[in-house]
Amino acid sequence: MTLSSATPATGTDFAVEGLNMLGPLVVATDGTKSADAAIRAAAQMAARSSADVHVIAVLEPIPLISGDYGILLPPADAIEARRETLEQRVRLQIRDLLGADATWSIEIVEGDPASVIARAGNERNARMIVMGIGHHELIDRLFGGETALRVLRQSRVPVWAVTPSFKALPERAVFATDFSMGGLRAAKAALATFDSLSTVYLAHVAPRLELQPEAFAVWLATYGEGLQPAFGRVKAELQIPDRVNVETVTLQGKPSRELLQFADSTHADLLVTGSRGAGLLDRLLVGSTATGLVRGSVHAVYAVPGLLGGERLLAAPPHHQISVEESQWTKSLDAFTKRNAGRRATLEVFDPDFGAQIQEHDYPFLGAAYDHHDRRVEIMLGDFGGPGRHLTRGIANVTSIDELRDEKGRDWILRLRHGLGQTILTLAR
């Protein structure tokens, strides 16, 4: 594990594309103690942010029983009696936890719990859904970890899953990052939502490859050298306010296990992760890392779904970015080559399925060229002349090219978008 600190930037812009950061809170409960933590968490968030709160309680349908002469339907008055009982239980819970003056709206809906909860958040364009998770015994079949995971898969708004031990809004958080837009968006949303945060760990988990120890050590050293510019871009994007101390950490192994262990070791009270949601790549993200966090964490988990229609590019502050018109790609890449040939560079591929993959690190940049016949950009790296290193990376089906410059106006990043992924060339500064 490697850990480093950084001085936060000032002037954070808390707008997060596609999310309503001023919307209401939707809190899920069944009126039992397993949902007390969610009620307390929503109350503290509402008090701090003046957000409206809508309580959703789900009445699960009575299973139909097959008899000798057909399906036996439950009496109509039994359904209404169950509804009244649930509503009374929820009102008593809110009164006991918040007092008799609580004015939250309450809605009782019959249906599948996860679908109803996710739909309530989506239809209200909520700031987030607040629900409880528990990890001992069968704390609650309705609002346990599995229901939370199903809500994540269907929700288009963030989900804040809190454990029974919740006492106060989070101060120390671990932000999981694979340097993709999903992780960046989740981090931005968390900073916009939890102004109680005082310490943030940007945590990246490097894969553990099946290599001989000597070969793995060499690979890990090369991989690690490319992480600093990647962390630098994330921190520049987030512009974390001065009140928050930010540290970066690199772990190795299975992401969910390493993140959980690190959160325990740092006494973090929040884990932040991106999730695709709404059916987009559920199997990979919600099925692995987010699943492990929700099922295994003794800390609250804040999960943010990705934008519908695919991942957006990792962006930079607008005044540093130049989007090149397609008609100028050839001319622009020629000029970029003339300005930067010989500078040390790192080449990374960002895949929406697998996150960041460093292809080359600390190679001299030789040039970039565009072939309009197959919309292909060639990036050349290596030593000038002689028998040294010479590498060419071809990127087909390019859909956009951006040049990003630092605060002094010097070229910093060449970014190519292709499909849902992107390739980034970062020049040493």
Q: Give residue-wise pLDDT tens across range 61-79.
A: 776 555 555 555 566 667 7
Q: Convert the pLDDT of each residue in 247-290 to its tens digit.
A: 999 888 888 889 999 999 999 999 998 875 433 333 333 445 66
Sign of the C-alpha dihedral, residues 288, 294, 295, 298? positive
**Neighbouring C-beta atoms of residue 71, cutoff 10 Å:** 8
Asked if 183 and 274 touch (Cβ cutoff 8 Å), the reply is yes
Q: Which CATH class is domain 318-427?
A: mainly beta
Count the alpha carbons within 13 Å of 389 in the hemisphere toward its beta carbon. Answer: 11
Alpha carbons within 13 angstroms on the beta-carbon side of residue 261 total: 12
Confidence class of residue 161 from pLDDT cuts 50, 70 and 90? very high
- Model confidence pTM above 0.85: no
**SS3 breakdown of the chain: % helix, strand, coil, rounded to 5?**
30, 30, 35
Closest CA to 273 of 195, 329, 202: 202
Q: pLDDT-based confidence at 17, cuts 50/70/90?
A: confident
> What is the reported pLDDT for 310?
42
Rounded to whole angstroms, the Cα distance separating 271 from 145 reads 15
Which position has the higher pLDDT, 10 or 60? 60
Q: What is the helix (H) or strand (E) element at residue 392, kind and residue range?
A: strand 390-395
- Cβ-based neighbours of 254, under 8 Å, separated by 6 or more: 205, 208, 292
Closest CA to 143 of 39, 214, 217, 223: 39
Q: Residues 102, 94: contact at Cβ < 8 Å? A: yes
Q: How far apart are CA 370 and CA 127, in angstroms?
A: 43
pLDDT of residue 28: 95
The amino acid at 428: A
CA distances from 306 to 155, 184, 225, 350 (A): 10, 10, 28, 15
Cβ contact 248:6 at 8 Å:
yes
Q: What is the pLDDT of residue 74?
A: 60
Domain boundaries, the chain: 2-16+166-305, 25-157, 318-427
Enumerate the H helices of 226-274 as residue ranges.
227-238, 255-265
The CATH architecture to which 2-16+166-305 belongs is: 3-Layer(aba) Sandwich (3.40)
* Mean per-residue pLDDT of the chain: 79
Kindly report the CATH number that applies to the domain delimited by 25-157: 3.40.50.620
More confident residue, 27 or 364: 27
Sole residue written with tokens 């397609």: 326
Do the domains at 2-16+166-305 and 25-157 have one common CATH topology? yes
- At a CB cut-off of 8 Å and minimum separation 6, what does 261 contact? none
Three-state DSSP at 97 gives helix
Segment 129-154 shows an average pLDDT of: 67
Rounded to the nearest 10 degrees, what angle do helices 36-49 and 76-98 cross at?
Answer: 60
Mean pLDDT along residues 411-429: 84
What tokens does 227 get? Answer: 């992480």
Pairing of strands 172-176, 25-28: unpaired
pLDDT tens per residue across span 77-113: 677 888 899 999 999 999 999 998 888 999 999 988 8
Q: CB within 8 A of 77, min separation 6: which ones?
A: none
Residue 352 has pLDDT above 60, yes or no: no
Using the predicted structure, report yes or no on whether residue 371 has a pLDDT greater than 80: yes
Residue with tokens 């080359």: 360
Please count the other Cβ atoms lying within 10 Å of the Cβ belonging to residue 308: 12
Q: What percent of the chain has pLDDT over 70?
A: 74
Residue-wise DSSP of 330-365: HHHHHHHHHHHTT-EEEEEEEETTTEEEEEEEEEEE
The answer to whether 244 and 194 are in contact (CB under 8 A) is: no
Total residue length of the chain: 429
Q: For 280-331, what is each residue's pLDDT tens digit? A: 333 333 445 667 777 777 889 999 987 644 444 444 444 467 889 999 999 9
Q: According to the model, what pLDDT value does residue 312 have? A: 40
Name the amino acid, one letter, at 214: E
Dump pLDDT digits (tens) for 172-206: 999 998 877 778 889 999 999 999 999 999 998 87
Q: Which residues contact 162 (CB under 8 A, 6 or more apart)?
A: 37, 38, 41, 130, 131, 132, 133, 300
